[in-house]
Each structure stands twice: as structure tokens, then as C-alpha cells.
């Protein structure tokens, strides 16, 4: 029977934490594609986070949001951006 070794680092609070890892560029692109596809189907970010392991990807909620906002798919490119909201001038009311 083999032994599984998990590399750890000591955190600021002197507790042991697993060493963080980064996704490769191709996994990141694949995850961004799935995030956009699922988001355009109307799924929330929490539901997308729960569905990504089905595709072999483990992505946090924050990473899902970041992939959604920093990447653009073909469908997103066709949607015109929303115009900025109009500034409403404050109305002066004479109270005397």
C-alpha cells in the first residue's frame, strides 16, 4: 500500500495548510468556456461552482466570478454593453 504525501506550508497563524496550486493556461481557458456556457444558460455562480467538477475542474466561487468578468465569449461579444446610468441632478426643495 502506497503512502500519500501532501506538501504543506506554515501559515501566519502557525497552522499547516496545503500548498496552493495554479491551473494551467489551457485548464483556465477550458474553465472560462464552461463558466460562460453555464452562465448563459442562466445558472448562478454558486450552481456553476457545484457543476464544474462534473467536467473535471475544481474552481472556487471567486475564480468562477473572475473568469466570468475577465474573459469574453462569442455570445458576450455580440451583446452591446449597457450604457452608464444617467446622473440625476439633485432637486432643490424650498422648505421655508
Ordered by start, the domain boundaries in the chain are 25-78
How many Cβ atoms are within 10 Å of 82's Cβ, its own excluded? 6
pLDDT band at residue 86 under the 50/70/90 scheme: confident
Average pLDDT, the chain: 87
Mean pLDDT of 65-73: 89
Q: How far is CA 61 from the centre of its chain?
A: 6
Mean pLDDT of 42-67: 92
How many Cβ atoms are within 10 Å of 59's Cβ, its own excluded? 21
In this predicted structure, the answer to whether residue 67 has a pLDDT above a threshold of 80 is yes
In the chain, the largest separation of any two C-alpha atoms, in whole Å, equals 87
In this predicted structure, the answer to whether residue 13 has a pLDDT above a threshold of 70 is yes
pTM (global) more than 0.75: no
More confident residue, 44 or 81: 44
Half-sphere exposure of 24 (CA within 13 A, CB side): 3
How many Cβ atoms are within 10 Å of 18's Cβ, its own excluded? 9
C-alpha pair distances (Å), 41 with each of 8, 18, 24, 67: 38, 34, 26, 16
Mean pLDDT of 34-58: 92
Q: How far apart are CA 73 and CA 87, in angstroms?
A: 31
pLDDT band at residue 1 under the 50/70/90 scheme: low
Amino acid at each position: 500500500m502506497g503512502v500519500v504525501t501532501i506538501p504543506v506550508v506554515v501559515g501566519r497563524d502557525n497552522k499547516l495548510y496545503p500548498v496552493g496550486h495554479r491551473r494551467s493556461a489551457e485548464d483556465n481557458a477550458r474553465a472560462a468556456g464552461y463558466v460562460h456556457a453555464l452562465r448563459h444558460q442562466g445558472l448562478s455562480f454558486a450552481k456553476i461552482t457545484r457543476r464544474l467538477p462534473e467536467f473535471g475542474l475544481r474552481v472556487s466561487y471567486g475564480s468562477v466570478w473572475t473568469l466570468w468578468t475577465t474573459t469574453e465569449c462569442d455570445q458576450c461579444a455580440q451583446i452591446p454593453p449597457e450604457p452608464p446610468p444617467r446622473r440625476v441632478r439633485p432637486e432643490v426643495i424650498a422648505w421655508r
